[in-house]
A and B are shown apart, each in its own frame.
Chain A
Amino acid sequence: MAAAAARWNHVWVGTDTGILKGVNLQRKQAANFTPSGQPRREEAVSALCWGAGGETQILVGCADGTVKHFSTEEGRFQGQRHCPGGEGMFRGLAQVDGTLITCVDSGILRVWHDNDKEASSDPLLELRVGPGVCRMRQDPVRPHMVATGGKENALKVWDLQGSEEPVFRAKNVRNDWLDLRVPIWDQDIQFLPESQKLVTCTGYHQVRVYDPASPQRRPVLEATYGEYPLTAMTLTPGGNSVIVGNTHGQLAEIDLRQGRLLVCLKGLAGSVRGLQCHPSKPLLASCGLDRVLRVHRIRNPRGLDHKVYLKSQLNCLLLSGRDNWEDEPQEPQEPNKVPSEDTETDELWASLEAAAKRKLPDLEQSQGALQTRQRKKKRPGSTSS
């Protein structure tokens, strides 16, 4: 049951205890998926990304250096790939053309052949990015370009098909008013959709925009928010603003055209670890150390839509970008049950009047109840497969 319904989950969250949770906001259910049936802290999920073929596969990067494949269609882990090299957790995971790109804390970026048969073959390409990497992000438009950044590790954009040198290497801003060097701590990077620009958010509460196309290697725009390190960032559907979250659980939307703060979103009580906006709808999913997944609506009207308590500390999330949020076709849900029900109740239908017939569609619909606006307490379905 959980396996069949897994494809309709809206949000996938990775936790510190190694459990991948699939949350269905429509039915207000959360399901746990573990590769070995038991949660293990060594398999703490540190990176999540969509696999090949639309949104049917998820690549889960764990703390022990393995990347596991999870199929949303079948709702179970299918295989894993050991990606050794370097120390630290995965800071970025991406996949392109059947190859897997991983980047670890110590700065080793490797491109692997994504083939389950070869357990741990040598990487196709290895790059040293510099120590202390905090994030590696792939450009969704040009999948062979990746950007890396970290603590005292300036933003670099690499072309995996090109040379060993970065295509763009950012320069630090000028010394501040006391003539002291401004420290660098890039926590999250995003590629802006239409142009070549990149946005980063730093641990020193700055949001910076870089433009590789311009001759200036320094940031084109800099905005600050709050007093605490910004840990996560996501682009909004319009493309003109970003939403950032800091270690105090404060979420803010910052306009990139002027560098202004637009709105703040309330609700989170712990450090924000994962943020993602839906590509077309004004929805924002956020997860953090306070063990709660929240889905906010970012405009008209702004507010909290769903709040789901998931019992472990949440590390990263993936929001399904599909459009048919509400519609869930009934047939894939109960393929086994429908025929048997028909045979039993056919005689009943023949004998009873039309009033009784209404019961059957109600039964089916109660499973996929359309309760988008009600703040009901969800039932945590802790089924582990």
Chain B
Amino acid sequence: MAKAGDKSGGSGNKGLKRKAATEERQEAAVAEDGTTESGVQPSKAAAFPPGFSVSEIKNKQRRHLMFTRWKQQQRKEKLAAKKKLKKEREALGDKAPPKPIPKTIDNQRVYDETTVDPNDEEVAYDEATDEFASYFNRQTSPKILITTSDRPHGRTVRLCEQLSTVIPNSHVYYRRGLALKKIIPQCISRDFTDLIVINEDRKIPNGLILSHLPNGPTAHFKMSSVRLRKEIKRRGKEPTEHIPEIILNNFTTRLGHSVGRMFASLFPHNPQFTGRQVATFHNQRDYIFFRFHRYIFKSEKKVGIQELGPRFTLKLRSLQKGTFDSKYGEYEWVHKISGSQSGTSSIT
């Protein structure tokens, strides 16, 4: 019944207003219309069935109008509440309660129990004897093989070339349809320590597989936001042959440590500071940002930086124990997408 009344009431004037303040508008509308429903309107305003919401009105124009009116009312109420709160705070003066801190994603983050404690002996022993031990003990120096998925297009090829200028002692080879499992034993016999495969889809690079060679872990990343050298604004000239320094930011958890060590083992141990070049892997909320800069100290505290080199963003998809074997290998960590997973916890 209310609905029928609604329609009839609304046919002449534009919508029914809950507040009595707009009665003048109704009367004006009625004056235009001249229907005999004016007497019914004021009582109509209070006679909404409970549970009626603006979304139930079928007519789009009327529904939109009702909604905008409701929104304006909400905004007014909110402003009034704010003013009232402000007045109360001023009235209380010093005794006012402290302002509540706004919730941010970083605030709400659940503390990750796998965060590595620097004094932890067990983790220290684990890291001292894992697959990267020979690199960190200075027994081996890195030699990288960079390749792509089969039949790469221009962007990917150029990215590989630029990456090989960034990473010292790296070689780019064309894939030619070879199977990775066959490439790996050949690399091991030629003393390569790492293998990088840039996967390409629809002419843009979108994945990175980083495999530490003798028998080390293989990390599979999703790569996005790739910018080649010519696409970077205000960049410096070509990088030189100097060995860059490395910055690894924010790899705090156990998984983050493993991934961070993987990146560190790509570069030789002895950075040449005269080159003033630095490669940064910055981890924030599970995204790893790679940048390559040249810096210059203008004074004690001021530094100028120029971005050289390619830039890209990586997100870890899986970490597999052993060299590349996606079908039969054992995974140390796999990214699982589940509906209940909140965005507040971070894994690396």
Measuring CB to CB, which residues of chain A are less than 8 angstroms from any residue of chain B?
A: 17, 19, 32, 38-39, 41, 203, 227-229, 231, 247-249, 266, 269-271, 289-292, 309, 311-313, 377, 382
Contact = CB atoms under 8 A, between A and B. Distances in A.
A228 B327 contact: yes
B122 to A, nearest CB: 5
B331 A270 contact: yes
B334 A249 contact: yes
B330 A289 contact: yes
Interface string B119-152: 0111101100100000000000000000000000
Contacts of B126: 17, 39, 311-313
Interface of B: 111, 113-114, 120-123, 125-126, 129, 254, 321, 327-334, 336, 338
Given A231-B330, A269-B333, A269-B336, A41 B114 contact: no
B333 A290 contact: yes
Contacts of B120: 311, 382
Q: What 3 pairs between A and B have smallest CB-CB spacing?
A: A271-B330, A289-B332, A247-B330
A17 B129 contact: yes
A373 B122 CA distance: 29
Contact of A291 (B114, B129, B338): B114
Contacts of A41: 129
A203 B328 contact: yes
Contact of A289 (B125, B129, B321): B321
Contacts of B123: 311
B125 to A, nearest CB: 5
B254 A311 contact: yes
B338 A309 contact: no
A228 B326 CA distance: 9
B338 A247 contact: no
Residue among B111, B121, B338 facing the most chain A CB atoms (10 A cut-off): B121
Nearest to B121: A382
Contacts of A269: 333-334, 336
A126 B330 CA distance: 32
Contacts of B121: 382
B113 to A, nearest CB: 5
Contacts of A270: 330-334
B122 A19 contact: yes
A27 B75 CA distance: 52
A66 B190 CA distance: 36
A32 B122 contact: yes
A321 to B, nearest CB: 28
A231 B321 CA distance: 14
Given A39-B122, A271-B321, A312-B122, A290 B328 contact: no
A271 B336 CA distance: 13
23 contacts: A19-B122, A32-B122, A203-B328, A227-B327, A228-B327, A247-B328, A249-B334, A249-B336, A266-B336, A266-B338, A269-B333, A270-B330, A270-B331, A271-B332, A289-B321, A289-B331, A289-B333, A290-B333, A309-B114, A311-B120, A311-B123, A311-B254, A312-B126
